[in-house]
Amino acid sequence: MKALLNFWENHNFWASWLVLAIGMVIILLWAGWRVGFDALQWVALIVTTVVVAGIAAWIISWEEDGD
C-alpha cells in the first residue's frame, strides 16, 4: 500500500490517467456489452477511451500547476 501511495505522490499525472482509464473502460464495457461490436471496434473504442482519460488527466493537472 505504501508503494501505491508513493507512486501517487511522485507520479500524480500518470496515476490519475491510470485510475480514470480503468474506470472509463469498465463503464464502456458495461454499457456496450450487448451492442454487438466486432473485436476491432472494441479495440478502437478502448484505445479512444484511454486517450480521452489521458486528456482529462492532463486538463486536471493544469489546476495543480497554478499553485
pLDDT tens for the chain, 67 residues long, are 787 677 777 778 888 899 999 999 999 999 999 999 999 999 999 999 999 999 999 998 887 665 5
pTM for the model:
0.82
Residue 35 and residue 7 in contact, taking contact as beta carbons nearer than 8 Å: no
State the residue range of the domain holding 39.
2-62
Q: How many domains does the chain divide into?
A: 1
Residue 67 lies in a domain: no
Residue 28 exposed, middle or buried by CB count within 10 Å (0-12, 13-18, 19+):
middle
Residue 45 lies in a domain: yes
Residue 29 and residue 50 in contact, taking contact as beta carbons nearer than 8 Å: no
